[in-house]
Chains A and B, each alone.
Chain A
Amino acid sequence: MAGLELLSDQGYRVDGRRAGELRKIQARMGVFAQADGSAYIEQGNTKALAVVYGPHEIRGSRARALPDRALVNCQYSSATFSTGERKRRPHGDRKSCEMGLQLRQTFEAAILTQLHPRSQIDIYVQVLQADGGTYAACVNAATLAVLDAGIPMRDFVCACSAGFVDSTALADLSHVEEAAGGPQLALALLPASGQLALLEMDARLHEDHLEQVLEAAARAARDVHTLLDRVVRQHVREASILLGD
């Protein structure tokens, strides 16, 4: 059997998308009543759930409190049933810790933390099904949850991944494409200003191609933004109807 053809001569990817097309995105805000903010997102078959508590007083050691801004605490976990092979530990392993740190960096850049000095914002993200682009799904879910919690942000944070196959940049990689081993870049964007909240890639990619891949990821992130924006507006509209406004 020949290896999988990630991009056919006709320009189709394995799942039938073209190079720049995103997977189907569905999202909902306010899925939990007891949390300050919560959201659920499906990006293709990648499903993630985010809850936000805060801003509240620092829990635990007071020493951690920052005098000038809020502490953003992120925790990432992925369900044991989220991948093809069952996982042992849902959280606390190396990968989860790393992901938590990345999320924290992303949201420290986006949330206006200086408005809540000496307080804490908790963001918990759980991946229910991992089918590629978990980081992007987590960021997008967390953005919605933060918005749901009403925490002031500079802008949406929209994330998307991009890969590079046959001199073409592919947006929003699925698990099959990730597993093929090519370079993968994750990007979190503040769409209004075009600033990058986070950019991460740990594979080798020729410098000449970087721009192309970045461009593809940024465009995809902007597309994600339009979708998330629609979700938020829909949610607000529903909420206002419920409140009888």
Chain B
Amino acid sequence: MLQKREKVLLLRTFQGRTLRIVREHYLRPSVPCNSPLCPQPATCRNDGKLLSSDVTHYMIPDWKVVQDYLEILEFPELKGIIFMQTACQTVQHQRGRRQYNKLRNLLRDARHDCILFANEFQQFCYLPRERGESMEKWQTRSIYNAAVWYYHHCQDRMPIVMVTEDEEAIQQYGSETEGVFVISFKVPASGVSVSVSVCVHFFSGAHNALDPEEGSLNHLARLPPTLFFCVHTRHGFNLFSFLSLLIYFERESTSQGGPERDSKRENPEQAPCCQHRARYRARTHELRDRDLSQNRERPYAHRAVLRASLVLALLDFFSLSFVQDFRVVVRIDSWESTSVYPNGHFVRVLGRIGDLEGEIATILVENSISVVPFSEAQMCEMPVNTPGNPWKVSPEEEQERQDLRETHLVFSIDPKGCEDVDDALSVRTLDNGHLELGVHIADVTHFVAPNSYIDIEARTRATTYYLADRRYDMLPSTLSADLCSLLGGVDRYAVSVMWELDKTSYEIKKVWYGRTIIRSAYKLFYEAAQELLDGNFNIVDDIPEFRDLDEKTRQARLEELAWAIGKLTDIARHVRAKRDGCGALELEGVEVRVQLDEKKNIHDLIPKQPLEVHETVAECMILANHWVAKKIWESFPHQALLRQHPPPHQEFFSELRECAKAKGFFIDTRSNKTLADSLDNANDPNDPIVNRLLRSMATQAMSNALYFSTGSCAEEEFHHYGLALDKYTHFTSPIRRYSDIIVHRLLMAAISKDKKMEMKDNLFSNKDLEELCRHINNRNRAAQHSQKQSTELFQCMYFKDKDPENEERCVSDGVIYSIRTNGVLLFIPRFGIKGAAYLKNKDGLVISCTPDGRSEWKPGSLQRFQNKITSTTTGGESVTFHLFDHVTVRISVQASRCHSDTIRLEIISNKPYMSPDTELFHQSSLLLKSDLVKEVTRSVEEAQLAQEVKVNVIQEDYQKYCQTKGRSLYMLLEEIRDLALLDVSNSYGM
């Protein structure tokens, strides 16, 4: 039975009058307590997540603690946290939506051991605010009262610790109830009147380390950095040297600096300023010894010299050495109006500046990627597959699924050595003469139940992250490399799409979707498949499946397989032609070649001449995606997850058109078809790079392909520009994309809907799905950024040790692909680097070239034209750079302690770079990338061995990572398409 209370609010209207508002407030005898110790779980209706039962006590943070130290409460080490509704509401009212959503996500996340207790709706916990009582006092009182009730509710079996920052509250409530402890978030340091707030792992007893008797820095330093926080102190703290740690933030979108800004950079007015605080994100901080100077007001404090452009946080630290030379994460707490810098507190050390692991961790943090190893709870959900206890097809599943093991010849085509095979193909002739084409995708959703721990983790990650030298999987390797991988000769669950096609016209007559059991007969690699397609059977020896057969069966099987591949190729050609006929363009072909230069990390993976069989596989996958998209959209018109690629804006193509005109080509951008055709024609026989650059520009002009929920978009907007399909989704790689998992679930639901069966899973509503799409799009973007940044990191580390003056490898050929007022943008085909070279240096000198082409700096001026830039010295010499000119550049690294290092380009000659291996450009560039990563990894290893620094680095062999990078071309195309959508144009600050 509800009890009605009334709350009286006095609000001030805009006119300044006081408005007395009476609001009802209903109390109920029981609200869910979500504790496993609850004596009457039935009355409490504990249906959500429960607190874990293995904690020694529950922690209840005070409202102020929730407001200011949410990051700390987010640590997975902290268990058994009860957020009181009062505290959550304060966050909502005072910290805004962003912070509140963070808290909500924390509460929703099943992996975090924390719950919300709706104390204000509980009859015995609710305390009306008394007359004259301040809001803060009332909130603390409410929370304490609720804590006491909760303690008694659990029959006094679990001690409760309320942490607060309010000294008065500690005094008042500290010893009021036995079993409910009120302790400070700050632990007083020895004898000093000032409190250094150190929040240690609250209950592991670690804060005893700060015992006044033996309180010393040493204790703190020994604590793991993540458990060690200090929070700002206002006034002196003279036990240890403390310093104001300066943090800078960089605006997410731009990287322009301020006064000390590189003169190269334009747009000083875009320098970040304090007003944009909300849009800053924590990047990395720097702390420089030489910059440390005495602060007049606080002689004991060090103060780092600031860069005026940077937003700084004032942090008080007692161990300078602890954070010096490290990259750290800092949370900004407040920003006083009188201070130039915000106050913040230190959260976590990422690693040493310049150290590979540290820098990688920085990249991860910058892109807010969290890749902790899979937890035990998550691994427990994984099926077992050990040699002693092999995984088997279960009889129930055998009943429900269509068994294709005997009837269909299923095979997969992947790059050599690929481990995670998530797609397989089949083709056969039916009794009625029709053909049947099948695409079989690993059934990940069978193993990943909705809202299981592993599902939540995968949803959070949303995609597998590929960095230059490593990858972070979305699913544990038990699934990704074993049970969900459609390996040859083993039984696997799959989700299949099968089309019945006309024998000659290949027209689609029927389509069937469903769960199946398959056994892939052959795990082919592309080259072998291509040989078979060409009728060249010598390759057979390379296919392990054929090795142990006698001549006769081998021949028969071989012919069967060759027929299947041939038929597949035929069908693919046909489907492709149909798509082309509808005005589609071979965009992926375009993008591959474009993106070769763009995305260096894939660069070396692309075979120089794509085999036809690549396209065959790709086409089959596109077909499957397209049909699945149609199916789920028809079944769930308002809540299907599709992928759209909006057509680009024409004005974005203007640069492309101008550039092409400079070379005498005309680019027609009116439709995707004309664009593709004119790009194909724009080929300079003398310089293949021109075409690549033009394609790259075309790619950049396009908009991003995005996931979306069909309920939130008009049907016309579903179109996929790149593929020229009306509906498209991602279905074929559930191992490494969460969107595919969602699509699989939707498809399963659609099938059971067709069969009028009850739907098992709760599908996402349009709103939730929209939110999820936004999250996945976000994560994809983060994955692309991190990949790009890690590549840049490796490039920098590669060039860092080289002496740019002497090393031959630091000099290379570059092509001008864009003109700016003070320089040119260069593309270096050999390394796949894009960057800016300046024709005017910081001293105002301009470049000039001696007759033999070598450049020098002289006073003069620059003049920019549409397609060229001319540098004239005062002596009258002039040199002109045209678009697509080849020049010789020297590559060096510009070291920076606060940012990551950047590559710097310098034109040393206006003649193309001539070297003995000019002929081998492409060859070397293909090889170089992997060499580069290898070399950097090796040198890092060596350095570590030499210093015998014990850093916990996962030194896994690059080759091992490499394996799954060589995926099927289709996936590669997909990935490239994703990448192509990444806006990289302004990443060099010009």
Contacts and interface: CB of A to CB of B under 8 A. Distances in A.
A16 B97 contact: no
B296 interface: no
A3 B89 CA distance: 11
Interface in A144-182: 166-167, 174, 176
B96 A45 contact: no
A166 B767 contact: yes
A10 B100 contact: no
Nearest to A22: B2
Contacts of B116: 9-10
Contact of B108 (A9, A12, A131): A9
B95 to A, nearest CB: 8
A2 B26 contact: no
Main secondary structure of the interface of A (DSSP, over half): loop
B27 A2 contact: no
Interface stretch (B17-25, B237-245, B542-550, B911-919): B17-25
B552 interface: no
B203 interface: no
Contact of B2 (A8, A21, A45): A21
A1 B93 contact: yes
A228 to B, nearest CB: 18
B258 interface: no
Interface string A125-144: 00000010000000000000
Nearest to B4: A24
Contacts of A17: 2, 26
B752 interface: no
A208 interface: yes
Interface residues of A, number: 25
Contacts of A44: 4, 24
Nearest to A18: B28
Given A21-B2, A23-B24, A208-B638, A16 B93 contact: no
A15 interface: yes
Nearest to B19: A84
Nearest to B104: A9
**Nearest 6 pairs of A and B residues by beta carbon:** A16-B26, A2-B97, A16-B121, A24-B4, A15-B24, A167-B765
B676 to A, nearest CB: 40
A85 B19 contact: yes
B767 A176 contact: no
Contacts of A208: 638
Contacts of A15: 23-26
A229 interface: no
B32 interface: yes
Contacts of B190: none
A10 B89 CA distance: 13
Interface string B91-124: 0111011001000100110000000101011000
B742 to A, nearest CB: 18
Nearest to A84: B19
8 contacts: A1-B92, A2-B93, A9-B104, A10-B48, A10-B118, A16-B120, A131-B22, A167-B767
A211 interface: no
Main secondary structure of the interface of B (DSSP, over half): mixed
A5 interface: yes
A1 B99 CA distance: 11
A176 B11 CA distance: 14
Contacts of A24: 2, 4, 24, 26
Contact of B21 (A1, A23, A84): A84
A12 B118 contact: yes
Contacts of B21: 84
A45 B94 contact: no
A2 B765 contact: no
Nearest to A174: B24
Nearest to B122: A16
B25 A16 contact: yes
Interface in B1-49: 2, 4, 6, 13, 19, 21-28, 32, 48
Interface string B586-602: 00000000000000000
Given A9-B107, A45-B24, A174-B24, A2 B100 contact: yes
Interface string A1-36: 111010011101011110001011000000000000
Nearest to A15: B24
**In this complex, which of A1, A2, A5, A21 has the most chain B Cβ atoms within 10 angstroms of its Cβ?**
A2
B23 A176 contact: yes
A84 B19 CA distance: 7
Contacts of A176: 23
Nearest to B765: A167
A85 B15 CA distance: 12
A129 B156 CA distance: 45
Contacts of A174: 23-24
A16 B28 contact: yes
B23 A1 contact: no
Given A14-B23, A15-B24, A131-B22, 18 more contacts: A1-B94, A3-B97, A8-B118, A10-B48, A12-B118, A15-B23, A15-B25, A16-B2, A16-B120, A17-B26, A23-B4, A24-B2, A24-B24, A24-B26, A44-B24, A45-B6, A166-B767, A167-B767
A232 to B, nearest CB: 21
A21 B28 CA distance: 12
A3 B32 CA distance: 25
A3 B100 CA distance: 11
A1 B48 CA distance: 28
A15 B126 CA distance: 13
Contacts of A85: 13, 19
Interface in A197-215: 208
Interface string A35-54: 00000000011000000000
Contacts of B32: 10
Interface string B188-224: 0000000000000000000000000000000000000
A2 B96 contact: yes
A27 B335 CA distance: 54
A243 B630 CA distance: 74
A9 B108 CA distance: 8
**In this complex, which of B27, B108, B121, B765 has the most chain A Cβ atoms within 10 angstroms of its Cβ?**
B121
Contacts of A14: 23
Contacts of B27: 16
A166 to B, nearest CB: 7
Nearest to B5: A16
A79 B937 CA distance: 80
Given A21-B2, A208-B638, A5 B92 contact: yes
A45 B23 CA distance: 8
Contacts of A9: 104, 107-108, 116
Contacts of A10: 32, 48, 116, 118
Nearest to B3: A24
A183 B93 CA distance: 25
Interface string B924-965: 000000000000000000000000000000000000000000
Contacts of B100: 2
Interface string B794-834: 00000000000000000000000000000000000000000
A56 B180 CA distance: 70
